[in-house]
Amino acid sequence: MPPRPYVLAETNWKAVKDTPFEVAILPWGATEPHNYHLPYGTDNYESRSIAEGAAEIAWKQGAKVVPTVPFGVNTGQLNLRLAINMNPSTQFAVLSDIASAISQQGVRKLLVLNSHGGNDFKQMIRELQPRVNLFICMVNWWTCVKGADYFDEPGDHAGEMETSMMMVLEPDLLLPLSEAGPGKAKKFRVAGLREGWAWTPRQWSKVTSDTGTGNPAKSTPAKGEKFIRAVTEKIGGFLVDLAKADPDNMYE
């Protein structure tokens, strides 16, 4: 396959040196267990694929995908074997270095495309934005369309949604659904935490026995393909709008 000009890892200096880029897309995932049947890199495959698909739509508007950051905040999974944690302070340092490098090279906007619920970039962007000459925004890709419109039970982690997506993206890495656990998750005993208006990180090994939260039993490639297309088109359209936007005139 020839190199895709909108994927930085595949292109070369000859192509890049004279090409203006308006938007950089930074896919950010995690390395953690996803029930028994999905690979540890599930979040990375998802964010990379969605970023590349959206960038293809927006390529003519100057969008470019930089390599995926494969480690996320997994402080609630430290006792799960080979779940790789990146502390929020480390994550902020990585994001700061990437943003600083990009801003010095003529790129005017950065989209952090997040694929992991434990990553929270809002406060990082608030702190970083005044330091760099770069418009920074973020998207949690699973929030841009309603999973319930595509799945019987989308699930929170390694459920029907993610399993259906991975059936399309990396089918050879999945175990059969018969190997998957039911993804049954325990709820907080404290009402405010259970209802969601109070918050604390979940201790993952106390919440679920198979590391999944959401039943993958009804997953199908057809559902995954339809959902991926919807998400990619939605984010691609956002990138087109973002590439055209003036960072100094963002309000009407």
DSSP string, 171-235: GGGPPPGGGS--------SSHHHHHTSS-----HHHH-SSS-BS--TT--HHHHHHHHHHHHHHH
Checking if the pLDDT of 18 tops 90, the result is no
Rounded distance between C-alpha atoms, residue 214 and residue 45, angstroms: 19
Q: Let me know if domain 13-244 sits in CATH 3.40.50.10310.
A: yes
Tokens of 15: 């192509």
Rounded distance between C-alpha atoms, residue 226 and residue 76, angstroms: 32
Mean pLDDT of 41-68: 94
Mean pLDDT of 36-63: 95
Stated pTM of the model? 0.96
Say how many C-beta atoms besides its own lie within 10 A of residue 16's C-beta: 13
Rounded distance between C-alpha atoms, residue 35 and residue 39, angstroms: 9
Say how many C-beta atoms besides its own lie within 10 A of residue 233's C-beta: 15
All structural domains of the chain with their residue ranges: 13-244
62 bridge partner residues: none
Q: What is the pLDDT of residue 170?
A: 98
Burial class of residue 124 in the structure, from the number of CB atoms within 10 Å of its CB (0-12 exposed, 13-18 middle, 19+ buried): buried
| E strands in 45-106 | 63-65
3-state secondary structure (DSSP) of residue 126: helix
Tokens of 140: 């949690």
Tell me if 160 sits within 8 A of 151, measured CB to CB: yes
Q: What is the pLDDT of residue 60?
A: 86
Q: What is the pLDDT of residue 236?
A: 97
Mean pLDDT of 8-12: 94
